[in-house]
Structure 1
Amino acid sequence: MSRICVYLGSRTGESPAFRHAAHDLGHTLAARGHTLVYGGARVGLMGELANAALEAGGEVIGVMPDQLVEREQAHFGLTELIRVPNMHERKATMADNADGFIALPGGIGTFEELFEIWTWGYLGLHDKPLGLLNVEGFYAPLLTFLTSTVQHGFMSQATRNMLLDAETSGALLDALTAAR
């Protein structure tokens, strides 16, 4: 895997651990020679991640719709900032430019991107690994819910197993690489 798409918040969240995790992931991606693909913002966890990858000498590709360039405060110091006409093109462009996917803590946009890319994998539209960086148990309630979804017969265990999770950047990248 050479390019990793990361979905995460444009806010920093309440816990300093979220910023630390974004910073650590950025450094780890660069140190392992991966290119970061993300939403292109310079604020929140998104900015923290991109800046850390750049500081560590990594390549960073941001993808942002024209209408959000000002609203989300686009990061103009990236290796490449791809401007697209809308959110649909943003998600498709990010997916096309990625060999794997990671979700850090975030809000509704992060969840939407995560579930869409997981669904695309389930439908056979890609065979790229995806995982959650479960910082301070942020995703623990979701993981419990997903187990319940399998138990109630609405999802197969194989589909559930497509979504990997780990508590550290290194462990998650190792799991994604092994799943490839």
Structure 2
Amino acid sequence: MRDIKSVCVYCGSSSRVRQSYKDAAVELGLILAREGIRLVYGGGQVGIMGIIADTVLQNGGEVTGIIPHFLNESEIGKADVTELIAVDSMHVRKQIMAEKSDGFIVLPGGFGTLDEFFEILTWRQLKLHDKPIVIADIDGYWAPLVGAIDHIVDEGFAHQRNRDLFKVIPSVAEILPTLQDEPMGDTSIQTART
């Protein structure tokens, strides 16, 4: 069983989304605060990103936000987090998010969420880390993505063992147990350097 003390959550910065996605962010934020697990996220105060950070903070939890300077101006970095780290690039942002996290959660989101998911998945495939990755398929949001990945495996562009590098679960309640139950892999693996 893995000791999960911090998790990176990849999610959208849009507020124009289904209520069920917002509810999932609140539910996850409550769980993280209750379990004393630090949230590591993109540092914004808008959309699902802002909802989960607010929920963790309002319930006594700790939040680390990592945001590039240029996004800090447009998304307005969430200043009341436990720790806000402003960086020079998206690459540095993703690297620090990975280094500060014991596992990764993918909630509904857009292109940025996909970018973050595929990068951390690729890093795991390349054995640059061995931290668990969970996709929360809220209301079937990620079903088309999972179907596309399964198609890639079926067509021979990825091995089945690479498909097994992440788990897909249908509810927020299953996220933490899934992360914790992921078998430990190669403990000598180091976090990716970009």
User: Structure 2 length as normaliser, TM-score?
Assistant: 0.90
| Residue aligned with 2:24, SS | helix
1:162 to 2:165 alignment: yes
TM-superposed CA distance for 1:114, in Å, is 0.4
Alignment partner, residue 176 of structure 1: 179
Counterpart of 2:114 (choices 111, 114, 120) is: 111
Which aligned segments of 4 or more residues in structure 1 are displaced greater than 2 angstroms?
Answer: none
| Residue aligned with 2:67, SS | strand
Amino acid at match of 1:67: F
Counterpart of 1:23 (choices 19, 26, 30) is: 26
Partners of 2:141 and 2:178 in 1: CA distance: 19
Task: Show CA shifts across 1:68-127 (max 9, x none).
Answer: 111112100100001111111100010110010011111100000000000000001000
| Residue aligned with 1:176, SS | helix
Structure 2, unmatched stretches of 5+, are: 185-194
Amino acid at match of 1:79: T
Partners of 1:29 and 1:12 in 2: CA distance: 21
| Residue aligned with 1:131, SS | strand
Partners of 1:65 and 1:148 in 2: CA distance: 34
Amino acid at match of 1:166: I
Partners of 1:17 and 1:154 in 2: CA distance: 34
Alignment partner, residue 129 of structure 1: 132
Partners of 1:34 and 1:13 in 2: CA distance: 28
Alignment partner, residue 152 of structure 1: 155
Partners of 1:166 and 1:118 in 2: CA distance: 16
Amino acid at match of 2:71: L
* Change in CA separation of 1:155 and 1:13 when aligned onto 2, cut-off 3 Å: farther
Corresponding pairs, count? 180
Partners of 1:129 and 1:12 in 2: CA distance: 28
Aligned Cα root-mean-square deviation (Å): 0.9
Amino acid at match of 1:126: H
TM-superposed CA distance for 1:8, in Å, is 0.5
Task: Show CA shifts across 1:7-42 (max 9, x none).
Answer: 100102431001000111111111111100000001
Counterpart of 2:68 (choices 65, 69, 72) is: 65
| Residue aligned with 2:127, SS | coil
1:120 to 2:123 alignment: yes
